Amino acid sequence: MATDIERHLTKLREFHQEHLLQYWDEISDDEKLLLIKDIEEQNLKEVSTYFATAISSLDADHLVLDAKLRPIPAKVSASALNSTPEELETYQDLGLKEISDGRVAVLLMAGGQGTRLGVSYPKGMYDVGLPSGKSLFQLQAERILRLQNLAELKYKKRGSITWYILTSEATIRATREFFKRHNYFNLNEKNVIMFEQGMLPCFTLDGKIILDEKYRLARAPDGNGGLYRALKVQRILEDMAEKNIRSIHAHSVDNILVKVADPIFLGYCLSRSADCGVKVVEKSSPTEAVGVVCQVDDSYQVVEYSEITEETASLRDENGRLKFIAGNICNHYFTKDFLQSIADVHETELKLHVAKKKIPYVNQKGERVVPSTPNGIKIEKFVFDVFPFSKNFAVWEVTRKEEFSALKNNDSANRECPSTARKDVLELHKNWLKQAGATTVEGDVEISPLVSYAGENLSVEGKSFKGPIVL
């Protein structure tokens, strides 16, 4: 152990991280093994470069970025809001055909720590209090089941949608157990494939890796853009190739209204031969804290609200609409070939983002402290940073109240929280019933995704409903 420790110390000194061994003489033999394991797992050269690159992005000049910003050109975008019913049907049929041919996969990003929601289990397991008590995972699983049936009905051939679930050290075990306990929500277990993203150490602002315990490094998942490396390392791309998958719908776990494997979006992207697509909603106000999809120089990007000035965010066009209006909702289309090219060629070029966070640490007295203000940074890659590598990009606008309600916070925030998510689902379902001819809908009336994916298949003409009930 003594020579070992010298070897580690030399290596750590090279990267100015020797403080990681400062409690060596105070920890037990088992703890020593854990600490060495944590240190050995780090590619210190790589993470030091990550830190330097990420921290330099904090100095970016917002005015310089503002000057380069342009809205998305009309030629790459279309909207569900002004497409004709015939166009929507054409897209939908293309998407359903792709599903029926077994060429569709869903890539669910569920590796985040969900710190704002603040529960101790993965966000996908959360039940927002719908009459059915269904979790986000269950709602999504049932939408997949329903779509497979719709595609089969239309094309008389059953194709399976493969569900790849990106997890992390923070979520993998509980997610696996949850799916097992719920019998994979009646999906074929073979078509539900969980894989794990990487972790990165957390740093102080001056570049020291933080100790979470005397024998443990503080680490966090490497962001939802960690997906690309994980797709390769965990051989998911090989699995996709074997299954002949072409179209992939990637989305976050926390949008309760998400149209999983949305055939209209798939069909739209297929009709445009897009390699990379993004679904957007109209930004609700200039100050809404969502990223906007736009052009910077010649490439497509998501620019975070915090990266531009309020003045630019407030600009309007001649019709009075926000100039930068395309709100990003973490909802993407990728071809398998595009994902392969990212993993093989561009992964190392992805931007690194810095999030200042409250990261528990061990203080000078050797006590673990949970700080009340941000004291360090997490480095993250973002899923949308691959847009600049797209050769044929497509943007699809949808209606927020039909497709987007995120679960980010706990109820005290009053926005993007369990009660707003619950309300948005019930409101949508009420609208579906009204559109299908129901006379009155009172109370909480929920429609199972097994019955209806997007408002179809409701024989309710002249009927009245009083909740709480689940149809």
Binding residues for ligand UTP, rule: CB under 6 A, are: 109-116, 123, 166, 168, 197, 221-224, 226, 252-254, 330, 408
Gap between the Cα atoms of 143 and 125, Å rounded:
16
Nearest distance, CB of residue 375 and ligand UTP, angstroms: 16
**Residue with the CB atom nearest ligand UTP in the bound state:** 112
In terms of CB distance, is 380 or 446 closer to ligand UTP? 380
Q: Would you tell me how many other CB atoms lie within 10 Å of the CB of residue 252?
A: 22
Nearest distance, CB of residue 101 and ligand UTP, angstroms: 28
Nearest distance, CB of residue 462 and ligand UTP, angstroms: 41
The single residue listed with the structure tokens 């985040």 is 112
Residues in contact with 13: Cβ distance below 8 Å, sequence separation at least 6, in sequence order: none
Secondary structure of 428-440 as H, E, C letters: HHHHHHHHCCCCE
Nearest distance, CB of residue 41 and ligand UTP, angstroms: 17
In terms of CB distance, is 34 or 355 closer to ligand UTP? 355
Residues in contact with 247: Cβ distance below 8 Å, sequence separation at least 6, in sequence order: 98, 103, 104, 105, 266, 269, 270, 333, 335, 336
DSSP for 22-78, please give it.
TTGGGS-HHHHHHHHHHHHT--HHHHHHHHHHHHHHTT--HHHHHHHEEPPPGGGEE
Gap between the Cα atoms of 33 and 37, Å rounded:
6
Nearest distance, CB of residue 124 and ligand UTP, angstroms: 8
Nearest distance, CB of residue 110 and ligand UTP, angstroms: 5
Instruction: Give the three-state DSSP class for 135.
Output: strand
Nearest distance, CB of residue 180 and ligand UTP, angstroms: 20
Phi then psi for residue 78, to 5 deg, are: -150, 165
β-pair partners for 200 = 220
In terms of CB distance, is 115 or 363 closer to ligand UTP? 115
β-pair partners for 353 = 380
Nearest distance, CB of residue 257 and ligand UTP, angstroms: 14
In terms of CB distance, is 167 or 452 closer to ligand UTP? 167
In terms of CB distance, is 258 or 426 closer to ligand UTP? 258
Q: Which two tokens stand for residue 197?
A: 């993203």
In terms of CB distance, is 106 or 151 closer to ligand UTP? 106
In terms of CB distance, is 275 or 380 closer to ligand UTP? 380
Gap between the Cα atoms of 95 and 208, Å rounded:
49
Q: Tell me, what amino acid is at 301? A: Q
In terms of CB distance, is 36 or 355 closer to ligand UTP? 355
**Taking Cα atoms as reference points, which of 219, 254, 270 lies closest to residue 418?**
254
DSSP for 339-402, please give it.
HHHIIIIIGGG---EEEEE---EE-TTS-EE--SS--EEEEE--GGGGGGG-SSEEEEE--HHH
Nearest distance, CB of residue 331 and ligand UTP, angstroms: 11
Nearest distance, CB of residue 218 and ligand UTP, angstroms: 15
Tell me the C-alpha to C-alpha distance, in Å, between residue 297 and each of 57, 274, 307, 388, 469.
18, 20, 16, 10, 52
Q: Tell me, what amino acid is at 80? A: A
In terms of CB distance, is 325 or 407 closer to ligand UTP? 407
Strand ranges (E), 113-236: 162-167, 192-196, 199-201, 203-204, 211-213, 216-217, 219-221
β-pair partners for 331 = 251
Nearest distance, CB of residue 301 and ligand UTP, angstroms: 17
In terms of CB distance, is 413 or 469 closer to ligand UTP? 413
Nearest distance, CB of residue 73 and ligand UTP, angstroms: 27
Gap between the Cα atoms of 89 and 300, Å rounded:
28
In terms of CB distance, is 116 or 346 closer to ligand UTP? 116
Output DSSP code: residue 281.
E
In terms of CB distance, is 222 or 262 closer to ligand UTP? 222
Output DSSP code: residue 248.
E
